């Protein structure tokens, strides 16, 4: 979070205090001399390190560095949008060039009064503090200008500071051209980089910078910030409306202030929660909770009617599903960490009903609902008819809410147990009683496993959950179910490496994805059911999700594939190339081959094929050998 101060004397602090206006100030002064309006994000911009509340580790590091004279030549500021990266860069440039005649004449983080260069630096117009937008200056020629100008000393300030925003947009040639100057710059030159995509910055650049990760602003602190700014602007706004803005801002001060600006124009001096919902296309949180209750109780007709009603008053179906996912997350947190209900961002309705749901719903059902909603939001956003897509997500969620885990269900059926406890399904899913003494038949349907795409069908029953008591639903009638059909046994797969996964893709006939496994994935960690990979630069953005879905479909077991920031081992293709090059090198150094090459000038070794012996066949049969795709390159015997 940031503490903000503007020209009016308003200072936003972290303690939840009321804003302090100057004694001789009756109203907020115009932001500029000519009376032009300045948006809140610029008007209340931090100006000192003390204003950067929530960034204490960075401030402490800089303070110690300035006091001991250990000032780095470059800094890398990273974080989500709107947390103050560019503003922090300007404050850092101000601290480097801080100078007050007769008071201070060295770099410091204690900017107690405005110095000689402070105003020009904070307004972005100082001749020795050069700001460059890398999004519009991406080429090597732009970097060459910086390199040429860096040789000359600053005109008036202590340091010549280059602030490069969105540095990840520079081209590879520009990055390479900057490396030498970045590593050994002149003593009077400092670099400050800012980026939202730190993974796109080459490691060669990161290794030459001190990196600071600016944190998101907590919702409770963001609400306090918005309240103080609203009071300073003379705007009446309800607490619920502030909470909606803070949630929509997602930890970004700039996004939240931009929404507050828009709400001030929309409300014309008074802002209520209902006005803000219409402006943002949000659904009423109480109605979202009602929709959640309908779904968990299996009342599909009521759920679809509630979604239609919210849509008719302007709610976006994708946002409704997002709010449902948020409430599912809140209920899950209340179940595993009850103290989370006391957070300031939680309304009284969410707190009361969330605790009620947390007592009734298991973590397994909540996790399943979260998976379906997470995938459903993406489907609605990509659909040509969002409302129809949202309807289908709710139907899927309502029918899956009470289902047992597929693995447990199959295990119980295999063992001859009745997984439904003798209860017939309710909600119209069961068949009418036959002539066998009033018993009812159990309805068994086919559905795809939640959270996966294209996975094999699993048997499901249409029994409703145990929430009927708190939602007013009717209990399910009792009956004797019929025997479920015997599930088909699936072959067992013992996957231990990416080589096994590539071989499985080949076995399933999915050659394109086999090539992706071999060329676009670097393995970081391989565990049963979980794989950590580092995709290559040219890999699709959703390759991890696609990999997990295909493994789940092929094996019948749940696989999670996650993207890791840790550097992975080379890809299968890279390892194969390296092995082949090693074989060529070994062959060239063999005495016999060397003699042949010497005997026939111009001859060269173009390929090496290894003869597989009976001992090698035995080695391939060894379960410890997990590299079937490289069997043709087996063995390190140089005599081959």
pLDDT (0 to 100) of residue 194: 93
Cα(349)–Cα(323) distance, rounded to whole angstroms?
Answer: 14
- Which residues, at least 6 apart from 544, have a Cβ–Cβ distance to it below 8 Å? 533, 535, 561, 562, 563
Cα(169)–Cα(573) distance, rounded to whole angstroms?
Answer: 29
DSSP code string of 315-369: --HHHHHHHHHHHHHHHHHHHH-GGGGGSTTS-HHHHHHHHHHHHHS-HHHHHHH
**CA nearest to 638, candidates 560, 594, 586:** 586
Tell me the CA distances in angstroms from 178 to 78, 138, 148, 426, one per residue in order.
19, 12, 11, 69
Q: pTM value?
A: 0.52
Range 1-42+218-280 classified under CATH 1.10.8.60: yes
Determine the distance from the C-alpha atom of residue 173 to the mean position of all C-alpha atoms in its chain, rounded to a whole number. Answer: 29
pLDDT (0 to 100) of residue 165: 92
pLDDT (0 to 100) of residue 18: 32
Q: What is the mean pLDDT of residues 73-80?
A: 91
| pLDDT above 80: residue 613 | no
Residues 567, 571, 574, CA angle at the centre, nearest 5°? 120
| pLDDT above 70: residue 456 | no
Domain ranges of the chain: 1-42+218-280, 55-213, 282-426+442-489, 498-567, 573-633
Q: Write out the two tokens for 385.
A: 């008819």
pLDDT tier, 19 (very low <50, low <70, confident <90, very high otherwise): very low
| pLDDT above 60: residue 440 | no
pLDDT (0 to 100) of residue 626: 43
- Which residues, at least 6 apart from 235, have a Cβ–Cβ distance to it below 8 Å? 264, 267, 269, 270, 271
Q: Write out the two tokens for 65.
A: 């560095």
Q: What is the mean pLDDT of residues 564-584?
A: 86
**8-state DSSP, 414:** H
225 vs 98, which has greater pLDDT? 98
Determine the distance from the C-alpha atom of residue 23 to the mean position of all C-alpha atoms in its chain, rounded to a whole number. Answer: 46
Range 282-426+442-489 classified under CATH 1.10.10.10: no
* Contact (CB, 8 A) for 322 and 417: no
pLDDT tier, 446 (very low <50, low <70, confident <90, very high otherwise): very low
| pLDDT above 90: residue 275 | no
pLDDT (0 to 100) of residue 460: 40
For the stretch 457-503, pLDDT in tens is 343 433 344 444 344 444 444 444 444 445 455 556 788 888 889 99
Cα(154)–Cα(323) distance, rounded to whole angstroms?
Answer: 53
Q: What is the mean pLDDT of residues 583-611?
A: 79
Q: What is the mean pLDDT of residues 70-91?
A: 89
Mean pLDDT (the chain, rounded):
76
pLDDT (0 to 100) of residue 470: 40
Q: Which residues pair with 423 in a beta bridge?
A: 478
| pLDDT above 60: residue 24 | no
For the stretch 369-378, pLDDT in tens is 999 999 999 9
User: What are phi and psi for residue 438, nearest 5 degrees?
Assistant: 80, 10
pLDDT (0 to 100) of residue 482: 46
109 vs 598, which has greater pLDDT? 109
Range 498-567 classified under CATH 3.30.300: yes
**CA nearest to 64, candidates 49, 79, 54:** 49
Cα(382)–Cα(380) distance, rounded to whole angstroms?
Answer: 5
pLDDT (0 to 100) of residue 403: 65
| pLDDT above 50: residue 363 | yes
For the stretch 190-232, pLDDT in tens is 999 999 899 999 999 999 999 998 888 777 778 888 888 888 8
Q: What is the SS3 assignment for 116-176?
A: CCHHHHHCCCCCCEEEEECCCCCCHHHHHHHHHHCCCCCCCCCCEEEEEECHHHCCHHHHH
Cα(268)–Cα(356) distance, rounded to whole angstroms?
Answer: 39
pLDDT tier, 148 (very low <50, low <70, confident <90, very high otherwise): very high
| pLDDT above 90: residue 625 | no
pLDDT (0 to 100) of residue 282: 62
Cα(509)–Cα(411) distance, rounded to whole angstroms?
Answer: 30
The two domains 55-213 and 498-567 share their CATH topology (first three levels equal) = no
| pLDDT above 90: residue 343 | no
pLDDT (0 to 100) of residue 621: 47
- Tell me which of 3.40.50.300, 3.30.70.1050, 3.90.226.10, 1.10.3720.10 is the CATH number of domain 55-213: 3.40.50.300
**8-state DSSP, 408:** H
For the stretch 230-256, pLDDT in tens is 888 888 888 888 888 887 777 788 888
- Lowest-pLDDT range, 295-299, 421-425, 544-548? 421-425
pLDDT (0 to 100) of residue 401: 67
pLDDT (0 to 100) of residue 60: 86
| pLDDT above 80: residue 640 | no
């Amino acid at each position: 979070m940031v503490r903000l101060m503007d020209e009016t004397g308003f200072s936003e602090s972290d303690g939840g205090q009321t804003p302090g206006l100057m004694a001789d100030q009756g109203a907020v002064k115009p932001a500029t001399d000519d009376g032009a309006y300045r948006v809140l994000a610029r008007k209340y911009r931090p100006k000192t390190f003390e204003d950067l509340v929530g960034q204490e580790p960075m401030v402490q590091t800089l303070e110690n560095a300035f006091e001991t004279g250990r000032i780095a030549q470059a800094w890398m500021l990273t974080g989500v949008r709107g947390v103050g990266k560019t503003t922090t860069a300007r404050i850092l440039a101000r601290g480097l060039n801080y100078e007050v005649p007769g008071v201070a004449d060295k770099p410091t983080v204690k900017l107690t009064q405005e110095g000689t260069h402070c105003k020009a630096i904070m307004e972005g117009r100082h001749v020795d503090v050069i700001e460059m937008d890398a999004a519009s200056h991406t080429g090597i020629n732009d970097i060459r200008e910086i390199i040429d100008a860096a040789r000359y000393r600053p005109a008036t300030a202590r340091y010549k500071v280059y602030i490069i925003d969105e540095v990840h947009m520079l081209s590879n040639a520009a990055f390479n051209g900057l490396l030498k100057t970045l590593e050994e710059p002149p003593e009077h030159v400092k670099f400050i980089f800012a980026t939202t995509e730190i993974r796109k910055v080459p490691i060669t650049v990161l290794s030459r910078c001190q990196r600071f990760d600016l944190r998101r602003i907590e919702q409770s602190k963001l609400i306090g910030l918005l309240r103080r700014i609203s009071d300073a602007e003379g705007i009446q706004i309800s607490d619920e409306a502030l909470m909606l803005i803070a949630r929509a801002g997602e930890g970004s001060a700039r996004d939240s202030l931009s929404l507050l600006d828009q709400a001030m124009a929309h409300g014309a001096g008074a802002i209520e929660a209902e006005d803000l919902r219409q402006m943002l296309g949000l659904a009423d949180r109480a109605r979202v909770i009602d929709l959640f209750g309908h779904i968990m109780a299996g009342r599909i007709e009521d759920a679809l009617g509630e979604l239609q009603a919210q849509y008719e008053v302007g709610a976006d179906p994708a946002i409704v599903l997002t709010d449902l996912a948020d409430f599912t997350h809140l209920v899950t947190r209340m179940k595993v960490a009850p103290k989370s209900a006391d957070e300031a961002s939680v309304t009284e309705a969410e707190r009361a009903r969330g605790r009620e749901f947390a007592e009734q719903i298991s973590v397994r059902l909540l996790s399943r609902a979260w998976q379906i909603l997470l995938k459903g939001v993406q489907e609605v956003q990509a659909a040509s008819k969002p409302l129809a897509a949202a309807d289908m997500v709710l139907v899927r969620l309502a029918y899956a809410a009470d289902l047992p885990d597929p693995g447990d269900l199959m295990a119980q059926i295999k063992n001859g147990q009745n997984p439904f406890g003798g209860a017939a399904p309710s909600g119209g899913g069961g068949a009418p009683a036959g002539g066998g003494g009033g018993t009812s038949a159990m309805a068994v349907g086919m559905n795809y496993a939640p959270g996966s795409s294209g996975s094999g069908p699993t048997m499901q029953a249409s029994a409703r959950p145990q929430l009927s008591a708190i939602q007013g639903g009717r209990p399910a009638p009792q009956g004797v179910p019929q025997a479920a059909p015997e599930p088909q046994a699936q072959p067992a797969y013992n996957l231990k490496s990416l080589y096994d996964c590539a071989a499985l893709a080949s076995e399933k006939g999915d050659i394109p994805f086999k090539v992706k496994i071999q060329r676009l994935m670097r393995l970081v960690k391989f565990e049963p059911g979980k794989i950590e990979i580092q995709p290559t630069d040219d890999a699709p953005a959703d390759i991890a999700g696609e990999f997990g879905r295909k493994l789940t479909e092929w094996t019948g077991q749940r696989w999670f594939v996650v993207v890791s920031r840790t550097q992975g081992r080379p890809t299968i293709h890279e390892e194969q190339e390296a092995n082949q090059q090693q074989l060529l090198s070994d062959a060239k150094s063999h005495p016999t081959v060397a003699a042949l090459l010497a005997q026939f000038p111009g001859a060269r070794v173009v390929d090496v094929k290894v003869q597989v012996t009976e001992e090698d066949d035995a080695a391939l049969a060894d379960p410890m050998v997990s590299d079937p795709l490289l069997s043709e390159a087996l063995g390190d015997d140089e005599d081959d």
